Amino acid sequence: MIFLVAVAWVACLSTPVLATAPVDTLGPLDPNAQRDAQRIIDFLTKGPGSGQSWDKLATFVDTIGSRVSGSPALAAAVRYMLDSLANDGLENVHGEAVTIPNWVRGNEYAKMTFPREKNLAMLGLGTSVGTGSGGIEAEIIVVSSFDDLKQRAATNETQGKIVVYNQYCDWASLPVDCYGDSVIYRAIGASEAAKVGAVAALVRSVASFSINSPHTGVQDYEPGVKKIPVACITIEDAAMLSRMQDRGIAPRIKLYMEAHTLPNATSYNVVAELIGSKYPDEVVLVSGHLDSWDVGQGAMDDGGGAVLAWQVLSTAAQLGLRPLRTLRVVMWSCEEFGGIGSQQYFDRHKSDAANFSLVMESDMGTFEPKGLQFSGSAAALSIMQQVANLAAPLNATLVLPNGAETDTGPWAAIGVPAASLATHNEKYFYFHHSEGDTMSVFTPGTLDRAAALYAVAAFTVANMPSKLPR
């Protein structure tokens, strides 16, 4: 999950929900929609499908591990999924080639060398340059904001220093806004520091909770500005360095990073289908991204989303439910560096946009479901509320705005209806982009219920007599 989905995160936590009406009419839905939805829910929560999503995800992430863009692990993940989808009996299984960046972390460390020695937990940020073989050792300057940085620069306090961003935000009081307010320092902090003569930058991890855990992510150098190394450090260490500075101490840090970027690599968006019985050229797309950062297992971000999209088609196939329209799963490559694989998919297929009834993605954690997020016309929104009402046995009937996520955003921008899962993901940023992103985040029952909501929504829309109105 990258910065582009911050708005969706805000909507998921803060926007008042729409009223939920009783399921007393199916309106434009298939007459059997209620029956089919109940079959899906029963199959996944208390039938043969119970535990399937957990087993698929655990086997995948335990086997492959983390899957950063351009890595051998991401290539292995593509092969794994192509084989798994084919072995599951899905149709038209194939990969679509995409060109992606190939950034390599290498060995790295940060160490405070004055006023005492202390190893600092850190993770280099994606696309960062390295320090060179000798590393960089310098006095630090702690700043609380970009305005603070400019004020320090005006008094010649930043030249030759390592800038430490300690951008405090009260996540407990502002669980909605803190991610968007904080991630900007990760995104452009290096270039802003370089403009005022800094030799490197360290950024307080963008996280709502920490047990001395650094959280990585992508950063973006401004063209024409000197590229300096940049890494994240823990909330605890950023706060400690700030306290030291407030006492008149000038800490020094030794930073060593082997980070470098290799030539672009070829990867693949993984695609499979359950071909529609009446309108095979019309599509409901379900998706998650296959890549992750190179820490943890990438189970939450976004192995869970990719596997649940697979489970949508697998469930329909196991139940013998073939919708009128084609259900298509796409597992995107290279979301974490800016939705690169999905943008190339969009560029390749946008001429067929009229045939897309709905595009869906899950990239905010497959936790306990509470409903859907949706972007589309008022008429389509009314229908999606009816679709969500079918998930009443899951207690997941809410419909919130802003259904587009990073990979589905280009489709929503040209008017294709977009939806995503709304879940109880209040702890998402505990684990986001860190070593804590593992299978331990989930429980089997939670994944079953999230998969059931995803499958009910996608299958119901795919089986409607008409496409969603625009």
Indicate the helix (H) or strand (E) that contains 156. Answer: none
In the set 192, 335, 336, 368, the catalytic residue is: 335
Q: Is 335 a catalytic residue?
A: yes
Largest CA distance in the chain: 74
φ, ψ of residue 297 to 5 degrees: the values are -115, -5
Strand partners, 361: 420
Residue 197 burial (C-beta neighbours within 10 Å; 0-12, 13-18, 19+):
middle
Dihedral sign for Cα atoms in the order 31, 32, 38, 43: negative
And the tokens for 321?
A: 């439910």
And the tokens for 390?
A: 């079918």
* Residue 129 · residue 223 · CB < 8 Å: no
Cα–Cα distance for residue pair 427/441, rounded to 1 Å = 9
Half-sphere exposure of 468 (CA within 13 A, CB side): 34
Cα–Cα distance for residue pair 437/66, rounded to 1 Å = 9
Cα–Cα distance for residue pair 410/458, rounded to 1 Å = 19
At residue 301, the 3 state secondary structure works out as helix
Cα–Cα distance for residue pair 377/153, rounded to 1 Å = 49
And the tokens for 51?
A: 């535990």
Task: Quickly list DSSP for 192-252.
Answer: HHHHTT-SEEEEE---S--SS-----B--PPTTS----EEEE-HHHHHHHHHHHHTT---E
Catalytic residue ranges: 335
